[in-house]
């Protein structure tokens, strides 16, 4: 009895070839996804520092350090105002760990017993409201920690210099306005002083004209 297996294999190959044949039909997607622009809030800022680190905050109630997350800490300078803020996001969730301005008077110091860590006080806004926090940040190397501290200190001092410059400009503007007002007052006083003499001179002139007219009439 002859075997039918080769015939079955031949039919299966034809069926497979028909399944793989491109019909040229186009199937439209069931759901159309439109491109959405994602903003980070950092579009108007330039990063002056960008380092991987781990952030901690001091919990006053428990008197202990609590981890805020591991990610990238950035120092961002605004293109128009020149103000610099510190922002750190968790690497996976992008949740904000810290978000505050670096202002004049702020300082950063090395964590005792750990050259890879440093700490500072700041008025933070990462949770949607201003809150005084004590932060500690740890880097992978001592060099990165020193770089962060140097840049932080440099920015804080530049903000102080900028504030003094602004105050100096405002004071100069006030002095200039005061000088203008004094000049106006002096000119007004001079005009008031000259006014009676001018009026007396005009009165005398009018009398002379009247006398001349009287002499002619006589």
For the stretch 1-25, pLDDT in tens is 455 455 554 555 555 555 555 666 6
**Could you tell me what percent of the chain has a pLDDT over 70?**
59
Q: Considering only residues 166 and 153, tell me which one the structure prediction assigns the higher pLDDT.
A: 153
Q: Identify the band that residue 170 occupies on the pLDDT scale cut at 50, 70 and 90.
A: very low
Q: Determine, yes or no, domain membership for 34.
A: no
Q: Where residue 135 sits, what CATH number does that domain have?
A: 2.30.29.30
Arithmetic mean of pLDDT, 168-173: 48
> What is the domain extent for residue 96?
45-163
Query: Among candidates 95, 99, 49, 48, which has minimal Cα distance to 71?
Result: 95
Report yes or no on 109 lying in a domain.
Answer: yes
- Residue 216, domain member (yes or no): no
Mean pLDDT of 136-141: 97
Q: Which of 59-63, 117-121, 161-165, 168-172 has the lowest mean pLDDT?
A: 168-172
Is 94 part of a structural domain of the chain? yes
Confidence (pLDDT) at 40: 72
Q: Is 108 inside any structural domain? A: yes
How, if at all, do strands 96-101 and 45-59 pair?
unpaired
* Of the candidates 77, 69, 78, the residue with the CA atom closest to the CA atom of residue 98: 69
How many domains is the chain built from? 1
56 belongs to a structural domain? yes
**196-214: pLDDT as tens digits:** 555 555 556 666 566 655 5
Provide the pLDDT for residue 160. 75
Residue 81 lies in a domain: yes
pLDDT of residue 22: 61
Read off the pLDDT of each residue in 82-99 and give the average, rounded to a whole number.
94
Quote the DSSP letter at residue 35: P
Phi and psi, residue 85, nearest 5°:
-125, 155
Q: Return mean pLDDT, the chain.
A: 77
Q: Name the residue with tokens 């900028």.
A: 162
4 or 75: whose pLDDT is higher? 75
DSSP symbol at 87:
E
Band (80; pLDDT cuts 50, 70, 90): very high
- The pLDDT score that the predictor gives to residue 44 is 87
Q: Looking at the domain assignment, is residue 169 inside a domain?
A: no
Contacts of 152 (CB under 8 A, 6+ apart): 75, 86, 102, 106, 108, 120
Instruction: State whether residue 125 is helix, strand or coil.
Output: coil
> What per-residue confidence (pLDDT) applies to 163?
58
């Amino acid at each position: 009895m002859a075997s039918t297996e080769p015939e079955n294999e031949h039919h299966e190959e034809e069926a497979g070839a028909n399944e793989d044949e491109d019909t040229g039909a186009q199937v439209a997607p069931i759901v159309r996804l439109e491109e959405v622009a994602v903003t980070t809030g950092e579009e108007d800022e330039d990063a002056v520092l960008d380092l991987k680190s781990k952030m901690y905050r001091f919990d006053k109630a428990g008197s202990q350090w609590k981890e805020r997350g591991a990610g990238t800490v950035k120092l961002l300078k605004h293109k128009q105002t020149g103000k610099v803020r510190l922002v750190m996001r968790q690497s996976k969730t992008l949740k904000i760990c810290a978000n505050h301005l670096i202002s004049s008077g702020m300082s950063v110091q090395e964590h005792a017993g750990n050259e890879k860590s440093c700490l500072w006080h700041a008025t933070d806004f990462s949770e949607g409201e201003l809150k005084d926090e004590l932060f500690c940040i740890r880097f992978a190397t001592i060099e990165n920690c020193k770089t962060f501290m140097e840049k932080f200190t440099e920015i804080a001092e530049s903000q102080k210099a900028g504030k003094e410059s602004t105050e100096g400009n405002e004071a100069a503007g006030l002095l200039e306005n005061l000088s203008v007002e004094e000049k106006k007052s002096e000119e007004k006083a001079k005009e008031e002083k000259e006014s009676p003499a001018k009026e007396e001179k005009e009165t005398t002139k009018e009398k002379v004209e009247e006398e001349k007219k009287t002499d002619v009439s006589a």
